[in-house]
Structures are given as C-alpha cells and as structure tokens.
Structure 1
Amino acid sequence: MRPLFGRACSIGRRRPTLADATLKTYQAKLNASLDAMMALEPTRDAGIKLQRVIKKIRRHIFVFVTNQDIPPTNNGSERALRPCAVFRKITNGF
C-alpha cells in the first residue's frame, strides 16, 4: 500500500504541470492498482481491518489527484496541530 500512496502523492505534487486528461489517466491507473490489492485475501487481523476501512472510504482515496483544491498530503493539518503537541510535551500533559 505504501508504494501506491507514495506514487499518488508524487502525482499530486505534479498536478499543476499536468493536463486534466493525464490526471484522469493516472487516477484510473491508481484505482486499478488498488483494485488488484483489494482482491488479495488478508491473513492477519490488521490486514482485514485495513481492507474493511479502505472499502468504506474507497471512493475518496484518490480524489486529490484530479481536484486541485485538495492537497496531496496532510502536512498543513499536522503543522497546525504542532504548537498544541509542543505545549502538551512542555507542560507534561497538564
């Protein structure tokens, strides 16, 4: 899964330089790769849980590839939460 999402994020970062038709083609290829992975039978509980979660959010996973308004990563959210995490560490969770 990690290489697939890495490839999707790298495509997402290149969106401004790519045509819409190219982005749709990339999205179709990413979805095909995910379909192939979802066809596999997980052997462990964590794999079963991951497969269940992905089935629920399946249609939202690669939306950012064709929608320019959605960032390819959640770095903005993590940066916004960082001051809270630093404060919590400094004050020992007080």
Structure 2
Amino acid sequence: MKRLLLRAIALQRQRQKLAPSTVKQYCSRLRGLREILNLKPKQANGQKLLKRYLKLRHHLLLFLDNETVPLTNNSSEQALR
C-alpha cells in the first residue's frame, strides 16, 4: 500500500510534464492496484490498517482525479497551529 501511495504522489508531482494520455494510463493502473485492499493480513496491526484504508478508499487517490485536492494535509495542520 505504501508503494501504491508513493507512486500516486510521484505521478501527481510529474503530472504537468506528462501527456494527458500518459497521466490517464498511469491513473488507471494505480486504480487497478487497489486490489491490495483485497488482501487479508494475518497480523493485528495489518488488519487495523486495512480497516482504516477500507474506510478511506474512495478518498485515498482523490488528488489524482481532482487537481485542487492537495497531496497532503500539511497546510491544514499548519493552519491549526
């Protein structure tokens, strides 16, 4: 899952340099990797993490569909300080 998120972030950062068709292809591939969420971890920590990801799954890669959505919530956290 970590690898999936890191790839999605890298794609978003390079988005302006890539052809729209290339971005679309990468996004499609990344969405296909959501199959990771079908894995059944045996460890309790893995099960908890999977449960959290399943709750958020529709929002995990939202920044790929909507360029106005930031990659991180750093600005929100800074605003709270």
TM-score, L = length of structure 2: 0.77
Question: 2:73 & 2:19 partners in 1: Cα distance?
Answer: 24
Give the total of aligned pairs.
81
What is the aligned partner in structure 1 of residue 13 from structure 2? Answer: 13
| Structure 2 residue identity aligned to 1:33 | L
**1:45-56 aligned within 5 A:** 45-56=44-55
Mapped partners of 1:80, 1:57: distance in 2: 23
Q: Which has the higher Rg, Structure 1 or Structure 2? A: 1
**Secondary structure in 1 matching 2:27:** helix
> Relative CO higher for 1 or 2, CA cutoff 8 Å, sep ≥ 6?
1
Question: Are residues 34 and 58 of structure 1, via their aligned partners in 2, closer, same or farther at CA, if it must alter by over 3 Å?
Answer: same
Please give the per-residue CA displacement for 1:1-24, whole angstroms capped at 9, x wherever unaligned.
222211111111122233433322
SS at match of 1:4: helix
Structure 2: give runs of 5+ residues left out of the alignment. Answer: none
| Structure 1 unmatched runs, 5+ | 85-94
Higher mean Cα deviation, 17-26 or 58-67?
17-26
Amino acid at match of 2:29: K
Partner of 1:22: 22
Q: Which AA in structure 2 matches 1:54?
A: Y
RMSD of equivalent CA atoms: 1.9
Report the CA distance between 1:78 and its aligned residue. 3.2
